[in-house]
Structure 1
Amino acid sequence: MSDTSSLRPSSGGRLSRRGFIAGTGAAVVLGGTAPARASAAAGPIADGAHVPVLVIGTGYGGAVAALRLAQAGVDVHMVEMGMAWDTPGPDGKIFCNTREPDYRSYWLRTRTKAPLNYFLGFPIDRDIPRHTGVLDAEEFAGITVYQGRGVGGGSLVNGGMAVTPKRENFASVLPTVNAAEMYDVYYPRANAALGVGSVDPAWFESTPYYQYARVGRKHAQRSGFPFVFVPDVYDWDHMKQEEAGTVPKSALAAEILYGNNHGKKSLQKTYLAQARATGRVAISPLHRVTSVAPAGSGRYAVTIEQLGTSGAVTATKTVTAGRVFFAAGSVGTSKLLVKLKATGALPNLNGEVGKGWGDNGNVMCGRANHLWDPTGAQQSAIPCAGIDNWTAGGAFAEVAPLPTGIETFASFYLSITRNPHRAEFTWNAAAGRVDLSWQTAWKQPSIDMAKTIFDRINSKEGTIYRTDLFGVYKIWGDHLTYHPLGGAVLGRATDNYGRLSGHPGLYVIDGALIPGNTTVNPFVTITALAERNIERIIATDL
């Protein structure tokens, strides 16, 4: 699926203002004298502090903004609702295993809520201690949205599939953005900084850990579908060493849903590591922003709750910032902006805030294979391939692992589809919360598009759908999304570079900018768009 141009080095020859500033070491000062340089080890942000730039969230967009601002000489403080995830637990590991969820697994839940929550017809969720765990299963009417919680955001919990959309599909993703710039400059820049690579085809053919993907390839090709390798941010050499037994197993030990302890190149190892190394970026984990409001002289007052690991508020702080970047993820950013507009904290936000939200067309299913097509008891938790029927049927299906540790004879898939439905976040004043208007019935177009692949494969192979993975006699995982997008759409809630309407100095720089669908896994597009936007903001606003 990846355009080959996305794998080229970033084009050179142009010295941007950012590059000039970073190269000369000159500092960009926002709103007064230069403050003391930030430090990654400075500790939590203090009540009453003033920072030139506050970034809300540490996911893809926020990490890009922090790094590029720091390289331009700007001091940045990032606040993150989740934990730092830098301290091992009692078992010596930072993250728990997918097959054995514990207190580290879920964000403030007392029972797990696994995306695949049945097996052989039996519920598999279990009770856990309430803790600020790494995966949030946030429930709205009609849909559960899975999000990463911690320094690194969604990069902590996703499968790392780093896909650049096909160029011919880009206009449907971001119609107001220059595609040539994205494919010549910003996608290559994002792919390089994220550390994107592809599985060694020869190793793929020989390892038992991708037998499930080879079975998926055979079935796809026999039904006439293109089967494609998909780039990822996993360290593929590390995975080979995992198989050889020379390093601890990580992807090959089912580490994915609740974090990966070794091989995955999360943002902690890429953008955020580079940002910290500048000495200009500080991060406050377990800090949740509840309000942003004008404070005079072009600054903003930001109210922040500090959390304990039980979720209790341990302190409330007010800081001021010269500029604020909303990077709390599509849901987090959208919910906060909708609340701030409705309650009068940011009254000049326009009526597009909260609109244009979609699920990237996510829908899941499993197929029951014949006994002569085992998918393997050993399965890498990192997907590396997919089935492309986007042009003909509006669906791209990731051939996903089912790392139960036993032979299941099952092929499992996460599909991304061209679902047209868009929901809206609205403020529920009576309940004091933000609601989402998504309806489960809106998943039907996604099911229909996925069926253009799997009905044909089942017919060709003489197989059936599994009905024991999402409930009792239920085929489709139509209750969830891993890929929330939209809610503060580029060119509608913001200008064409993420500046929020009506409030100079406020920016959106995450997946909330993308109107509901990217045709593939979205984080490379989120990263590339952030690279584009922050370059313009540094050049023109600072």
Structure 2
Amino acid sequence: MSENVESGTTPVAAEAAPQSGFSRRRFVLGTGAAIGAATLIGRTATSAAALPGGTVIGDGARVQALIVGSGYGGSVTALRLAQAGVNVHVIEQGMSWDTPGSDGKIFANTTSPDYRSYWLRTRTKAPLSNFLGFPIDKDVPKYTGILDAEEFSGITVYQGRGVGGGSLVNGGMAVTPKRENFGAILPSVNPDEMYNTYYPRANAGLGVTNVDQRWWESTQYYQFARVGRKHAQRSGFPFVFVPNVYDWDYMKAEEAGTVPKSALAAEILYGNNGGKKSLAKTYLPAALATGRVTISPQHRVTNVAPASGGGYTVSMETIDTSGNVTGVKTVVADKVFFAAGSVGTSKLLVKFRDTGSLPNLNGEVGTGWGDNGNVMCGRANHMWDPTGAKQSSIPTAGIDNWAAGGAFAEVAPLPTGIETYASFYLSITKNPNRAQFSYNAATGKVDLNWQTAWKQPAIDMAKSIFDRINSTEGTIYRTDLFGTYKIWGDHLTYHPLGGAILNKATDNYGRLKGYNGLYVMDGSLIPGNTSVNPFVTITALAERNIDNIITYDV
């Protein structure tokens, strides 16, 4: 299939490097029994397991490498630095997600959000806000939940909060872009090294696999996707299977009733308790198994500035599960790696530049932000095309009209537990609009100047697929999913990208211009669009960049 590259199936060993002679502090795993279980990247866990703890970072510490964020870029960076002999501290503002709730599960179900579901909100803000004409959001206790619906002018950005970042809440679609599209994604990067080395390495590290298509054809849980295929093909569109990080054997066992249902019980948006291979099951256990990595959850970085004796003074707060500040710490780090996600990293860097902490950061910082062209819609099918009351929450395929119409549409589940006769889609489009972050001195916050009207190109590109399908099938758009008589979910993005563009705000490997020892390692490096779901590209780019940084800087 053209969307794939050879990802390989051999896991990458997390070999512990010898202790560095100039190390100032050594941190060890708190639970030795966990080491063996986490030695290989790509090894599948079949339940949501706690990561071993270790000692959180102490006030006044001097550290070799401090990583801000534990998502894809941060996890890659932590593992590879540790393997190179560097002691690493990862700062994560979210929780470690290692303690079950009163229902015995770590994560809440998509259809029943509770206090675990949202980051410091008192009311849910579901991407799909209405159903059958009724609003579905509800009041919840304020808590450091797993999904942040961060609201800016004109757009809501959904982000994962916790150890593992966005990997905790995404649908797991692990798509490598077509090579012919790569030049528009990262124009300063050599595609040969990405497709020969770093995409395969990322796919192996993430545990990317393909669904068993024979099983897919027969299970009732993918009837919705087979209906999507039929409609796409009858309108002349290519329907392509895409890889995922879900453990398909576990999903088959879910259907057989031999393990607790997870994907087949609608778990995804607020975490998955079963077979999904988040970073908490792949890169992060491998990093911790080196004995050189400490993760400090519920820590929030507030400032970074050059230290008088070299390195950087990093200030941070500790927070409780209500978001209250419970303490402050200051440490000095030889090197700081920003991996807080496109929004998180961009906001920090813009604030530090414009408040004078890091004044030498250039004017490119905060620019080039895009939404990966995200737009959502639903279609109302005929009664003879039921999509199934039982649906897996894990997507497996999409409709490819990128070359002709500028859109790739994920055939997404709509797991409501009842028959809806609805087909649901998340589209990625070539939307060219880009926004900029700016520091607001009056509020002390960082704003984003995105405008909802900038979604119109994305809608037009998505219509290149769905207008034709509706015409062929004699169907109509659903108008009850995003409000009252509203067709398009044009208010959000799942895929924030940009804000510290590679080879502009940084050099060609993520070194921030203006400062030695400061780096960017996440999706903020990518200028707004990846043509597909972005996390494999973020992971592969981090693998590439940290290779170069270890060679020349460590």
| 1:180 aligns to 2:170 (yes or no) | no
Look up the match of 2:33. Answer: none
Q: 1:517 aligns with which of 521, 529, 534?
A: 529
Residue 45 of structure 1: how far off its partner (Å): 1.4
Separation in structure 2 between the aligned mates of residue 178 and residue 273 of structure 1, nearest angstrom: 30
Structure 2 counterpart of 1:297, from 286, 309, 313: 309
For 1:152, the equivalent position in structure 2 comes to: 164
Question: Which residue matches 1:36?
Answer: 26
Aligned length: 532
1:88 and 2:78 aligned:
no
Could you tell me how far 1:282 is from its partner in structure 2?
A: 0.5
Q: Establish whether residue 325 from structure 1 lines up as the match of residue 315 from structure 2.
A: no
Q: Distance in 1 between matches of 2:401 and 2:322?
A: 45
> How many Å separate the matches in 2 of 1:366 and 1:273?
38
Q: Deviations over 1:28-59 (max 9, x none)?
A: 56xx5543245453332111111110000000
Report the Cα distance in structure 1 between the residues aligned to 2:541 and 2:417, rounded to whole angstroms.
38
Residue in 1 aligned with 2:549? 537
Q: Distance in 2 between matches of 1:471 and 1:531?
A: 41
Q: How does 1:26-175 map to 2 (within 5 A)?
A: 26-28=18-20, 32-39=22-29, 41-175=53-187
Letter in 2 for 1:410: A
> Distance between the aligned counterparts of 2:67 and 2:387, measured in 1?
44
Distance 2:11 2:110 in 1: 40
- Match of residue 15 from structure 1: none
Structure 1 match to 2:406: 394
**Pairing of 1:426-465 with structure 2 (within 5 A):** 426-465=438-477
How has the CA–CA distance of structure 1 residues 409 and 186 changed in structure 2, closer, same or farther, with 3 Å as cutoff? Answer: same
Aligned mates of 1:337, 1:38 — CA distance in 2: 31
What's the offset of the Cα at 1:486? 0.3
* CA distance, structure 1, for counterparts of residue 243 and residue 23 of structure 2: 45
State the 1:523 CA deviation.
0.1
TM-score with structure 2 length normalisation?
Answer: 0.94
Alignment of 1:249-260 (within 5 A): 249-260=261-272
Deviations, residues 269-290 of structure 1 (Å, cap 9, x unaligned): 0000100111110000000001
| SS across alignment from 1:426 | strand
Question: Is the alpha carbon distance of 1:56 and 1:11 closer, same or farther for their aligned partners in structure 2, counting shifts above 3 Å?
Answer: closer
Per the alignment, residue 373 of structure 2 pairs with 361
User: What amino acid is aligned across from residue 35 of structure 1 in structure 2?
Assistant: R
1:283 is aligned to 295
Match of 2:494 among 478, 482, 487: 482
Aligned-partner Cα distance in 2 for 1:448–1:139: 24
Shift of 1:97: 0.2
Residue in 2 that maps onto 1:201: 213
State whether structure 2 residue 485 is matched by structure 1 residue 473: yes
Among 432, 443, 446, which residue is 1:420 paired with?
A: 432
Structure 1 stretch displaced more, 81-90 or 296-305 = 296-305
Report if aligned partners of 1:28, 1:72 keep a CA contact under 8 Å in 2.
Answer: no
Instruction: Tell me the residue number matched to 1:16.
Output: none
Q: How does 1:331-346 map to 2 (within 5 A)?
A: 331-346=343-358
**Where do 5+ consecutive residues of structure 1 fail to align?**
13-18
Q: How does 1:15-34 map to 2 (within 5 A)?
A: 25-28=17-20, 32-34=22-24
| Distance change >3 Å, CA 216–CA 519, structure 1 → 2 | same
1:377 maps to 2:389:
yes
**C-alpha contact 2:5 2:176 (8 A) present in aligned 1:** no
CA contact (8 A) 2:16 2:290 kept: no
After superposition, the Cα gap between the structure-2 partners of 1:402 and 1:9, relative to the gap in structure 1 and judged at 3 Å, is closer
Q: Secondary structure at the match of 1:324?
A: strand
- Aligned to 1:7, the other structure's residue is in SS state coil
Other-structure match for 2:507: 495
CA RMSD across the alignment: 1.5
User: Is the contact made by 2:24 and 2:62 (CA closer than 8 Å) also made in structure 1?
Assistant: no
CA distance, structure 2, for counterparts of residue 24 and residue 87 of structure 1? 28
Shift of 1:7: 2.3
* 1:232 Cα deviation after fit: 0.2
Runs of 5+ consecutive residues of structure 2 not aligned to the other structure: 30-51
Partner Cα separation in structure 1 for residue 80 and residue 460 of structure 2: 42
User: Which deviates the most, 39-48 or 305-314?
Assistant: 39-48
- Taking structure 1 as the reference length, what is the TM-score of the superposition? 0.96
Would you say 1:407 and 2:397 are equivalent positions? no
Query: 1:241 maps to which residue?
Result: 253
* Distance in structure 2 (CA, Å) of the matches to 1:236 and 1:394: 31
1:77–1:375 Cα change, 3 Å? same
